[in-house]
Structure 1
Amino acid sequence: MTPPPRIVVLAGGVGGSRFVLGAREALRRRGVDDTAAALTVVVNTGDDLWLSGIRLQPDIDSITYALAGVNDTERGWGRAGESERVNAELQAWGAGWPWFTLGDLDLGTHLARTGWLREGLTPTQVLERMSRRWHLGARLLPMTDSEVDTVVTVREGGGIRSMHFQEWWTRHRATLEPVGFENPGIAEAVPAPGVGEAIATADVVLIAPSNPVVSIGPILAVPGVRDALRETGAPVVGVSPIIGGRVVRGMADVCLTAIGVETSASAVAGLYGARGDGGLLDAWLLAEEDRGLADEVAARGIRPSVVPLWMTDAAASAGIVEAALAAARR
């Protein structure tokens, strides 16, 4: 019997969650019982922050909740069936951010995580412990154990100032013009234990259709990750987060404009670059709406593959993952 492919996914955010669900479903359709042994997800931790004395890891929690089947699919974040009594009490005390809602169930996760961190566990060890509660069907790894929160520098009132990414994203809805994005301390960070080995021994590496600047960008900025991707013997296949020249969700177009990249499937492929030319990609999945860009992607030295890219449900997401695996085989 042919062993299942060892898949590594780089992911973050809601798009990453849906894509990872598709990867797990694709393995299940192949009859793989132990999908956790075949699927490793390297998760962005640039969104992380300290708030009211507790450590929040939004992307890690989004993917964990999605795999556990306890996520709020209507809001797109947090737990299903949430209440917000503790959040209301925090606001009554003037604690936290009034525009950043923490659900009671979600707070339970953050409190458990913070307690373990204060006991001396690393983020990798905390995530491993968290994964024992539910049968996730995937091995989750933070991109690094270092704290490298994303800071956004924006133009405001004729000047510039910096703020945590969550304030810019959640409070201001990315309406303040960004000048740049930084992850202080990332130059001294190292990949979390297991990340380098997973990439080196993978059969295929998939870059999820997550925000290329603030979800995938921080992962690639961890020293050693880009080298690992360039050196792995596995094909590296990316999935476009742009469909028909528009972002699918969120404000990735604002982020791309800030770094001088056009909001197009071809331009994002160029941002990652061709592995044969010192970049990362061997192949790139384009939406059917962007079929006309296939030759442009090919001219960048990246093999294009045109497929439906709308992740309407787990089945559709699994189909996208299968298309990515097929592109890897080619």
Structure 2
Amino acid sequence: MNMQRAASFRGPPVVALCGGVGGAKLALGLERLIGADLTVIVNTGDDFEHLGLHVSPDIDTVVYTLGGLSDLERGWGRADESWNFMEALGALGGETWFRLGDRDLAMHVERSRALRSGISLTEFTVATARRLGIAASILPMSDDRVETMVITAEGALPFQRYFVGLQCAPVVKRLEFSNAERAAATSQVLAALRNPDLAAIIICPSNPYLSVDPILAVSDIRRALDEVTAPIIAVSPLIGGQAVKGPTAKIMAELGVPADSASIARHYRFIDGLIIDETDRAEAGKIDMPVRVTSTLMRSLGDRDRLAADCLEFASHLAAGAQRRTAT
């Protein structure tokens, strides 16, 4: 990782908006390129209390990924995990539908202890990232509770019941983000978004509806994005009409939205540019904003680095174009 570069030279800051697995891959590539110049604002609409513990799935995925601890095969949780706790819990008749590995359990126990002692989620996350040697700043979108509720044909479901418990099977009618209108962005999040030296905001290829919309539902964040002068770009999570992982295309179909890059651009109507995969090159002309076509599939570490570099170059290109238009 480019920790030495980040320590010896600070460039213009970059902010990434991020959900879990797919977003964390790009966040890792960005951190490897720009280190401490990166701030990752992470969705907490997935957070919930389970077995008396505060679980923050997206934050933990980002922390484990950037900290080199993630399970690359499963795409979530820690590597070299064991499951003794879950086996013992099941033997006692406890809930086992949401699996917490033995190593992962340490994070939830310590976070819950910290929150009960009065430490904020932001303070805990920042301290944990620092302890794990992560150069980038990882920030929860809010220290206030926001709960993603999936309104389905079978009724309202808390996010984890829909996503993990029912494996995304119910038909989605709409999504609600409970308490988002009252939740406040932290001073750290607002400082990152309002930094006058900001080079770019990058929306990672996370699920727009389940992972990014909860961040945008926090009114402080949405207002700050409206005031940003740096380029805002998004990476489409779709390749050939399908998501690499997760139910993005399924949800779009159920909401009556075409699963294509033009729909992603319309969903993120406030952005300045969209990055799409080479598979979808023919769609570029249908998108009413600047488009960069590249390979967005991130199978390897090199893929993550390459896409991160493409994002930074695209943002720089958009910024230069805006400066030229201002000058003329």
**TM over 0.5, yes or no?**
yes
Tell me, in whole angstroms, the C-alpha distance in 1 between the residues paired with 2:264 and 2:208: 7
Deviations 1:97-147 (A, max 9, x none): 322111011111000000000001111111122123211121000001111
Flag structure 1 segments of 5+ consecutive residues without an equivalent: 28-34, 274-279
Q: Which residue of 1 aligns with 2:200?
A: 204
Q: Which residue of 2 aligns with 1:183?
A: 177
Q: CA deviation at 1:315?
A: 1.6
Residue identity over aligned pairs, in percent, reads 35
Q: 1:245 aligns with which of 241, 246, 263?
A: 241
Q: 2:157 aligns with which of 163, 167, 171?
A: 163
- Native 8 Å contact 1:124 1:193 kept in 2: no
Tell me, in whole angstroms, the C-alpha distance in 2 between the residues paired with 1:229 and 1:72: 33
Q: CA deviation at 1:217?
A: 0.7
Tell me, in whole angstroms, the C-alpha distance in 2 between the residues paired with 1:260 and 1:40: 34
Q: Which residue of 2 aligns with 1:310?
A: 297
Deviations 1:62-121 (A, max 9, x none): 0100111111111111111111111222222333x3221110111110000000000011
Q: Which residue of 2 aligns with 1:221?
A: 217
Q: 2:278 aligns with which of 281, 288, 296?
A: 288
Tell me, in whole angstroms, the C-alpha distance in 2 between the residues paired with 1:75 and 1:257: 26
State the SS of the aligned residue for 1:214: helix
Tell me, in whole angstroms, the C-alpha distance in 1 between the residues paired with 2:277 and 2:313: 15
Q: Higher mean Cα deviation, 52-61 or 189-198?
A: 189-198
State the SS of the aligned residue for 2:293: strand
Q: Which residue of 1 aligns with 2:107?
A: 109
Tell me, in whole angstroms, the C-alpha distance in 2 between the residues paired with 1:2 and 1:230: 30
Tell me, in whole angstroms, the C-alpha distance in 2 between the residues paired with 1:192 and 1:243: 34
| Aligned pairs for 1:265-276 within 5 A | 265-273=261-269
- Native 8 Å contact 1:180 1:258 kept in 2: no
Flag structure 2 segments of 5+ consecutive residues without an equivalent: 1-7, 318-328
Deviations 1:179-228 (A, max 9, x none): 22112111100112211110121211100000000101100111121221
Give the letter aligned to residue 249 of structure 1: K
CA RMSD in angstroms comes to: 1.5
Q: CA deviation at 1:256?
A: 2.2
State the TM-score, normalized to the length of structure 2.
0.90
Deviations 1:274-293 (A, max 9, x none): xxxxxx21111011111111
Q: CA deviation at 1:314?
A: 2.0
